[in-house]
Each structure stands twice: as C-alpha cells, then as structure tokens.
Structure 1
Amino acid sequence: MAHFAKSRVPRFTAEVHHNPFLPEGGRELHAVVTVTATGGGSTGGRPVPAPAREPGRGVPEPATPEPAVPEAAGPDPGVVLRVRTPLGAEVALLRQVAPAAGDLTGRRSPSGPRAGDYPTGPWGDESRDYHLCLRLPDPGVGREMLAARIAVLLPAPDGAAPRVAAEALVRAVWTDEPAAALRIDRQVAHHTGRAELAQAIQRGLDAAKWGDAVRALAELRRAARLATAPGNGDTAKLLAKVVDGVDTATGTVRQTAEAAEAARDDSPAAPGTRTPPGAIPTNDDDQL
C-alpha cells in the first residue's frame, strides 16, 4: 500500500471578506482577511511557541487562559502582513480576531511609501482571521478604488529578503444605492458583534426583493431598533434612506415604494456603482 507523506512545502492563502460598496460620503471600510497556512507554515511543522504571558498584578490567573496572539521571537518577525494603501488612505485598525485576539495596529513598521509591515509571529498549519479597518478619501459616487493590497511575507531561511507567499486585494466602490451599501458581510458582522443586525437587514432586503412587504417591514423595523446601539450611526442613516421615516426613539419604520424597488435588484453591481473611465487611479502616486 502506498503511503503519501504530508507536504512540508509551506503554502499560504489570503482571502478578503467585505462589502465593497460605500455610501455617498462614506470613508470607513471594514474587511476580514483570512490567512491560511499549510505545509508546516513558517515553523516547518514544529509546534508554534506559546506566547509569553505576564502574570496579572494582584489578579489571579484564570484556570484556562484565553489564547493570545503569538509574538515574534527575537529579531525575527515570523510571518509578516504587509498592507499597502493608496494616496489619502490609511489603516485605522488591524486586529487578529480568531482563533486568538490581539491588536496588531501598534506593531506596524514602515516598509515603503504608504506601506506598513505587521509581524504576526510563527505559524504552523492553521488559519487566522484579521479585522482590517481602512480610512479612505471620498472620490464621489460612481468611483472605484483599490483600497488596499495585502501581502503575506514568509521569512527566508538564509536571511534573504522574505518572499511573498500570498496576496489579497480590498476594493471600494461608492454608490448612490443605499441598499447596496447597507449590507454587512457575514464575516465582518460576526467579528464586529453585528451579526444580529446584519441578519435582520439581509432578511428585510430579501423580503422586499421578493415582494413580501409585510416581512420586509418587520425585519427592517427590527434592524432599525438594533441600529440604535452605539457604533451603528452610519447604518442607521442608511436604513433611513432605505425606508421612509425612521423614528430613532422607537425604531419604527415604514417601507417606501422606492426602497422596495431598489431592493429588487440582486446584481452585485448596484445602480450607481459603475466605474467611469479614469476612475481607478493610474498615476504613480496612487497605484498599489
């Protein structure tokens, strides 16, 4: 019987989960980046060293401590995430959210014009999720932008320059269709604590698309109530455009015919999202 040894050639993949559509004037884009390593990761199959923990001062250590983000060992940063943004854009937040939680924003080191490196420590065969928040310029409705280029850099064993093991792109499209910008990606919703809100919005838009006004009204009314929670101001404003008359005190909504008609379009590119000639930056300062 043939025996096939497990590959020890490190391979990485990177995948971006996000809703690329932003409303008129929208400047903040949230995405979840999933990076997966196989073939031994950066450690060649050896166990990933456990991160050092500083005992709490006067606080007893929990019986089962939560996992922490691995730290780089010595001068070796391990696997590095390089995030490059166009002119006028910046990384507001980069945080590992699964399986461990930890903020990487403060670990950034410059690596060229509008690019920063974020060390993530050693990797085995595993998958990690990162919450990326970008602050972008507002180019206007109908414009499209490559908002970020993410590269996974694997250290070279001989001390040479690290190689690019995987890449992923984050794009942004500004639209005048509120229903398109209102949708919250499932992964983003999960890792930002807005899963219930995202579900209510999606159910309401789906019901409107299929002409079920009663259910659409019920789900959008529920979404309006949930959107009154802190941190959902932009979503509440979009809901106000999708439905007519959002009462911020009670969360009641009344669906309009215009919103129902707009929600019927299930195309990934909603009206107002076409990119006119020259919309994507082409000069040297803006290219990624």
Structure 2
Amino acid sequence: MADFAKSHTPRFTVEVHQNPYLPRGARETHAVVTVTATGSGGRPLPADGPRAAVVLMVDCSGSMNRPPDKLRHARLATEAAIGALPDGVAFAVVAGNHRAAEVFPGGGRLAVADPATRAAARTAVRGLTASGGTAIGTWLRLAARLFATTPAGVRHGVLLTDGRDEHETPARLREALDACAGRFTCDARGVGTDWRVAEVTSIASALLGTADIVAEPEGLTADFTAMMTAATGKEIGDVGLRLWTPHGASVRFVRQVAPSVEDLTGRRTASPPRSGDYPTGSWGDESRDYHVCVRVPDAGVGRELLAARVAFVVRDPADPAGPPAASLGHGLIRVVWTDDLAAAAAVNPQVAHYAGQAELARAIREGLELRRRGDAAGAGARLGRAVRLAHLSGHEATAKLLAKVVDVEDAATGTVRLKTTVAEVDEMTLETRSTKTVGVKKKPSEDE
C-alpha cells in the first residue's frame, strides 16, 4: 500500500488556519484547511491498465433540434473533447434521451485512446441524431456500468443537457445519483436556458464535479475541451478527508469552500475509532480549502486540547477492501481556553473570508428564490446582502453577475433595486455560478 501511495499520487501539503483561543466556557472551534497537491505531471501510464477513464454523455433528446445548430455544436464539442484525450485513457461516448445508448465503442466496454480509436469515435459522433425525451438517470447508470469494467483509479463523466429531466421522477434521478456516488465524478453542463439549474447542479454536487451554463451552443467546444483537459490531468481518485476527534468532541460540519462551496457534512462514512471520512473526489495539481467546525468539551481556562486531526487518505483502487488507507498529508486543529478576551475575539482571516463566501452563495440562492415567488422586498434584501459580501471579498465575477439582476446604488452598504426585467440567461448564470468562490487576498508586503 505504501508503494502505491508513493508511486501513483501527487504530493499533498496540508495547512490549518485558525484562531486556537476560545473564551471561558466556549465549546466550538473553526478552522480552514488548505490542501495543495503538486507533482502529478509527467507520470508514465501504469503498465497494468489505464490510469484514467472518461465517459461523455451527450443529450440527444428532441429538444436538441431546437434550434437545429444546437446538436451540430454538441457533436463538434464532443469531437473536440475526444481529440483532446491523451493516449492510454479509457473512454466511451453515450447518447442520452429517455434511454441511454452506447455510441462508441459499444459492447458494454471502454476503448483505449489512440489515433485509431479517436478517429473512429469522432466518426461515430457525427452520426448522432436528436429524438425522444430526457431521463438523465439512465445516462448516469449506463456510465456507471461502463466504469465498472475498468481498473482506472480516476473515473470521470462529462454530461451535457439542454432540457428538463421530464421522463423520470425526481426520486428516480436521486436513486441514480445515490447509486453512482463514489463510483465516478461528473461535470454537468446546461446549454441554452430550457434546463433546470437545480437538476444540473444537483448532479455535479452529488458526483463531486462542476456545474456551469453554456449560454450559446457555439461555446460548447471550448468548454468541453477544457473539461477534458482538467479531467485527464487528474492523477488520483477517491481521496477522502479523514477527521479524527477525541472523546467528547464531535464534528458540526465540513464544507469545501474553494474553489466552490460544497457541504460534505452528510456524506461522512465511519472510519473507526473516532474517525470519519468525507469524499473529495479526484485530484491533480491543484489547491482546495475546507471549512471545518468541531464541538469540543470545555477543558477549562489554561488547558489545551487537540480538537481534531485532519488527514487526506486514499485506498489502493485495485483493492478497495484491502489494507488501511494511506495518508497523503495531515494537519492538527487545536484549542486553548483563555481569559484574554482580545486573543479569544480575534477572527482568523481565512475563516472569516470563507464564512462570508458561504453566506454569499446562500444569499444569492435565497434572493433568486424570493424573486421567483414575487417577494420583491425580501429578494432585494437578500441580493443586496450578496452585493455587499461580493464587494467585501473582492468577488468581481459574482459582482458583475449580480449587476445584471439588480441595479447597484451602493455596493459597500448593499443598497440595490431589483431590475424590472431580467434576461433568463442572466438569472440562470448567477444561480449556477453562485457557489464559485475566490481565495483570500494576500496583503502586500512592505517592499511592494
């Protein structure tokens, strides 16, 4: 197991940001855990099979013919994504409507990318036609069956839809997501404006991928190519964030807060003794931040306590039920009780920043929902709060999106007026991207 971890993974470094001091009687501590993976580039392909596998799921329902060039751009984007596949990556293409069909290679298997298979796959994609309805759960279940045929440690789906999941119940889609969770990650994209944001974002959330809107079909090729590059750049899948807490302590929540907000609290699986694992998906060269809140027993002023031990762990994908998981990196969350009110009142900058980012995402989501319900006053208050939080955190991209939904009179105070008319694409873009975050701004040094 140690040999697997050493030879097949990037190097993980873990930093813990917190104010460890608590006032007398306090029982809750917050920390931001920054995890950086480096050194994954340039590794040779494993001799015993593909390192990564990708399944492209393309919406071929009847609505893809409205307008006619939508499916044409989807075909071109899929061809470009196939062309971006490195040699040695396992892959397949699935066409989805109210059923799911294997477009390439067929036979319930995956092909291995090389010049010949990429050319054959592109030829198969050119024959895609649009008809029927939409049942996304069937696409995901077929992808899961295909992934089950490969030993690849990194398994990544890319899903494109332009419509609403109207040919299966929400419960059936949820069942499919539950069945696929942990078996592969998935990026989901909605093209145009006829799809439901909640459906697309729920797919990405459940399967630890990204969600976004591609407003115009012409933008699909660039987006698909970028997703493929990112997916095939991953070196290790199924990394878990493991939290150990001492007797009497408990985890209140675990949230990914960068590069996007994702609540992982309910996804804990027990890893005794006194530990739990939270899924983080696949990793390449990248950095992510996690906000951890732990409830601790009051040990009294002057006492110090190890509140939690944070580790990032992985099991050998060839033997998931085998030896204990290998640790990729770890950090410590500690607390000290004090009567020094100034020390206890200090707020760590990273913790404050990401608490604000999570509130920003909530304010946008709640504000848009109130707007849809016709509650102008409530919507204005929540979206005004979002404008202020975006201003304070320097989240310029979100500020620009908010300005398409409200007229900003004073960003610093969050004073806004709802726009009378808002383009549907602008509202959907704001909602879809509301969970994207920005990092903490570093203070310039004295020499700058």
Structure 1 length as normaliser, TM-score? 0.56
Q: 1:183 aligns with which of 331, 343, 346?
A: 346
Aligned to 1:151: 311
C-alpha separation in 1, matches of 2:274 and 2:189: 34
Query: How has the CA–CA distance of structure 1 residues 89 and 118 changed in structure 2, closer, same or farther, with 3 Å as cutoff?
Result: same
C-alpha separation in 2, matches of 1:123 and 1:72: 11
Which deviates further from its counterpart, 133-142 or 39-48? 39-48
C-alpha separation in 2, matches of 1:77 and 1:119: 10
Query: How has the CA–CA distance of structure 1 residues 15 and 99 changed in structure 2, closer, same or farther, with 3 Å as cutoff?
Result: same
Query: How has the CA–CA distance of structure 1 residues 65 and 92 changed in structure 2, closer, same or farther, with 3 Å as cutoff?
Result: closer
> Is the CA contact 1:21–1:175 (under 8 Å) kept in the aligned structure 2?
yes
How much does 1:70 deviate? 7.5
Identical aligned pairs, as a percentage? 51
The answer on 1:126 being equivalent to 2:289 is no
> Is the CA contact 1:69–1:100 (under 8 Å) kept in the aligned structure 2?
no
> Is the CA contact 2:239–2:314 (under 8 Å) kept in the aligned structure 1?
yes
Aligned to 1:114: 274
Report SS of the residue matched to 1:83. strand
Whichever residue aligns with residue 352 of structure 2, its letter is A
> Is the CA contact 1:16–1:169 (under 8 Å) kept in the aligned structure 2?
yes
The higher radius of gyration belongs to 2
> Is the CA contact 1:82–1:116 (under 8 Å) kept in the aligned structure 2?
yes
> Is the CA contact 2:188–2:203 (under 8 Å) kept in the aligned structure 1?
no
What are the equivalent positions in structure 2 for 1:247-262 lying under 5 Å apart?
Answer: none
Per-residue CA distance 1:42-81 (angstroms, 9 max, x = gap): 97798983525498xx86449x9899558369xx970011
> Is the CA contact 1:70–1:120 (under 8 Å) kept in the aligned structure 2?
no
Which deviates further from its counterpart, 16-25 or 115-124? 115-124
Higher helix share: 2
> Is the CA contact 1:88–1:136 (under 8 Å) kept in the aligned structure 2?
yes
> Is the CA contact 1:69–1:96 (under 8 Å) kept in the aligned structure 2?
no
> Is the CA contact 1:92–1:133 (under 8 Å) kept in the aligned structure 2?
yes
Aligned to 2:30: 30
How much does 1:39 deviate? 2.4
> Is the CA contact 1:95–1:105 (under 8 Å) kept in the aligned structure 2?
yes
Q: 2:265 aligns with which of 102, 105, 117?
A: 105
Q: 2:329 aligns with which of 156, 163, 166?
A: 166
C-alpha separation in 1, matches of 2:310 and 2:237: 17
Per-residue CA distance 1:210-236 (angstroms, 9 max, x = gap): xxxxxxxxxxxxxxxxxxxxxxxxxxx
Query: How has the CA–CA distance of structure 1 residues 69 and 35 changed in structure 2, closer, same or farther, with 3 Å as cutoff?
Result: farther
The answer on 1:137 being equivalent to 2:300 is no
How much does 1:40 deviate? 2.4
Structure 2 length as normaliser, TM-score? 0.37
C-alpha separation in 2, matches of 1:134 and 1:68: 27
> Is the CA contact 1:32–1:129 (under 8 Å) kept in the aligned structure 2?
yes
Query: How has the CA–CA distance of structure 1 residues 15 and 95 changed in structure 2, closer, same or farther, with 3 Å as cutoff?
Result: same
What are the equivalent positions in structure 2 for 1:214-233 lying under 5 Å apart?
Answer: none
How much does 1:173 deviate? 0.2
Report SS of the residue matched to 2:309. strand
> Is the CA contact 2:237–2:283 (under 8 Å) kept in the aligned structure 1?
no
Report SS of the residue matched to 2:282. coil
Per-residue CA distance 1:138-185 (angstroms, 9 max, x = gap): 111111001000111023243243211101001100000000001100
Query: How has the CA–CA distance of structure 1 residues 26 and 59 changed in structure 2, closer, same or farther, with 3 Å as cutoff?
Result: farther
How much does 1:125 deviate? 1.0
**What are the ranges of 5 or more consecutive residues in structure 1 without an aligned counterpart?**
1-6, 195-288
Aligned residues: 184
> Is the CA contact 2:188–2:201 (under 8 Å) kept in the aligned structure 1?
no
C-alpha separation in 2, matches of 1:90 and 1:13: 25
Aligned to 1:13: 13
C-alpha separation in 2, matches of 1:38 and 1:148: 25
Aligned to 2:356: 193
- Greater RCO, CA 8 A, separation 6+: 1
Report SS of the residue matched to 1:120. strand
What are the equivalent positions in structure 2 for 1:200-211 lying under 5 Å apart?
Answer: none
Query: How has the CA–CA distance of structure 1 residues 111 and 54 changed in structure 2, closer, same or farther, with 3 Å as cutoff?
Result: farther
Report SS of the residue matched to 1:188. helix
Per-residue CA distance 1:233-277 (angstroms, 9 max, x = gap): xxxxxxxxxxxxxxxxxxxxxxxxxxxxxxxxxxxxxxxxxxxxx
Report SS of the residue matched to 1:19. coil
